[in-house]
Amino acid sequence: MELPLFNSVEFEKLYNCSLYDDGYFSEARRPNPLVGFVYMTTGITYELLYIPCLITMATPKFFNNSCYKFMFFIGLIDILTIPFNAILYGYFAWKGYVYCDTPGLMYFAAAFTTVSYYN
């Protein structure tokens, strides 16, 4: 993650798309509304289902138990990553975006979700 922030020249050299022509991505660039809809729908559903669960776990009855504290904070991390993992990537699939269309956003989203996954 530090490469685009502190060494942008090296980042551009390693992650640019000049090696490929537009025809290379023609198959991947096709919009796939069905996959995008499924990703976004499941992501929104999971977000909405997480909210009452976290509210319940935050009550003193449950939050006094250390197990629920762990589950609550893991749930917070999940709520932060689901918009990237499901909703944003669903939008990318819906529109047919590839890395070369939005490299900065895709790099950040992938780095953020990878760090959150290991958390």
pLDDT tens sequence across 33-55: 999 999 999 999 999 999 999 99
Residue span of the structural domain in which 56 resides: 2-117
Map residue 108 onto helix, strand or coil. Answer: helix
Q: How far apart are CA 40 and CA 34, in angstroms?
A: 10
pLDDT value, residue 1: 64
pLDDT of 93 above 70: yes
pLDDT in tens, 11-21: 777 777 777 77
pLDDT value, residue 16: 78
Q: For the residues 55-68, what does the mean pLDDT come to? A: 94
- Number of neighbours of residue 70 by Cβ within 10 angstroms: 11
**CA-wise closest residue to 81 among 33, 54, 43, 55:** 43
Q: For the residues 23-34, what does the mean pLDDT come to? A: 80
pLDDT in tens, 65-78: 999 999 999 999 99
> What mean pLDDT value characterizes the chain?
87
Q: How far apart are CA 87 and CA 47, in angstroms?
A: 10
Q: What is the number of domains present in the chain?
A: 1
pLDDT value, residue 41: 96
pLDDT of 110 above 70: yes
pLDDT value, residue 6: 79
Q: How far apart are CA 104 and CA 9, in angstroms?
A: 14
